Structure 1
Amino acid sequence: MKNNPQSVPRQATASTPLTPKISLIIPAQNEAGSIGKVLDDVPEGVSEKIVVDNGSTDDTAAVARKHGATVLHEPRKGYGYACLKGMNYLGETSKPPDIVVFMDGDYSDYPEELPKVVAPILEDRYDLVIGARSKALREPGSMTPQQVFGNWLATFLMRLLFGARFTDLGPFRAIRYEAFKRLKMEDKTYGWTVEMQLKAIRHKLAYIEVPVRYKKRIGVSKVSGTVKGSIFAGVKILGWIFKYSIR
Structure 2
Amino acid sequence: MINCQRIALLIPACNEAESLPKVLSAWPHSVDRLIVIDNGSTDGTARIARGFGAEVVHEPRHGYGSACLRGLARLASDPPDIVAFADADGSDDLACLEPIIDPIAENRADFVLSRRVPTTPRALTPQQRFGNWLATRLIRVIWDGPYRDLGPMRAVRWRHLVDFKMRDPDYGWTVEMQIRALHRKCRIQEVAVPYRPRVAGRSQVSGTLAGVFGAGVKILWIIGREALEQPRRHRRCKD
Give the TM-score category using the shorter length.
over 0.9
Q: How far 1:176 moved relative to its partner? A: 0.6
Q: Any idea what SS the aligned residue of 2:17 has?
A: coil
In the other structure, the counterpart of 2:12 is 27
In the other structure, the counterpart of 2:203 is 221
CA contact (8 A) 1:39 1:68 kept: no
Structure 2 residue identity aligned to 1:74: E
Q: Any idea what SS the aligned residue of 1:224 has?
A: coil
Q: Give distance in 2, aligned partners of 1:154 and 1:101.
A: 22
Of 123, 134, 137, the match for 1:156? 137
Gaps of 5+ in 1: 1-16
Structure 1 residue identity aligned to 2:112: V
Instruction: State TM-score, norm by structure 2.
Output: 0.93
Q: Give distance in 1, aligned partners of 2:22 and 2:6.
A: 23
Q: Does 1:183 align with 2:168?
A: no
Of 183, 201, 205, the match for 2:186? 205
Q: Give distance in 1, aligned partners of 2:192 and 2:172.
A: 22
Structure 1 residue identity aligned to 2:5: P
Structure 2 residue identity aligned to 1:240: I
CA, structure 1 residues 145+138, in 2 after alignment: closer, same or farther (shift >3 Å)?
Answer: same
CA contact (8 A) 1:133 1:211 kept: yes
Q: Any idea what SS the aligned residue of 1:119 has?
A: helix
In the other structure, the counterpart of 2:155 is 174
In the other structure, the counterpart of 1:241 is 223
Q: Give distance in 1, aligned partners of 2:217 and 2:34.
A: 31
* Equivalences for residues 1-247 of structure 1 within 5 A: 18-93=3-78, 96-134=79-117, 137-218=118-199, 219-247=201-229
CA RMSD of aligned residues (A): 1.1
Gaps of 5+ in 2: 230-239
Q: Any idea what SS the aligned residue of 2:210 has?
A: helix
Q: Any idea what SS the aligned residue of 1:211 has?
A: strand
Q: Give distance in 2, aligned partners of 1:193 and 1:139.
A: 23
Runs of 4 or more above 3 Å deviation: none
Higher relative contact order (CA 8 A, sep 6+): 1
Structure 1 residue identity aligned to 2:82: I
Q: How far 1:204 moved relative to its partner? A: 1.0
Q: Give distance in 2, aligned partners of 1:139 and 1:19.
A: 37
- Bigger CA drift: 139-148 or 100-109? 139-148
Q: Give distance in 1, aligned partners of 2:60 and 2:15.
A: 12
Aligned residues: 227
Q: How far 1:246 moved relative to its partner? A: 2.9
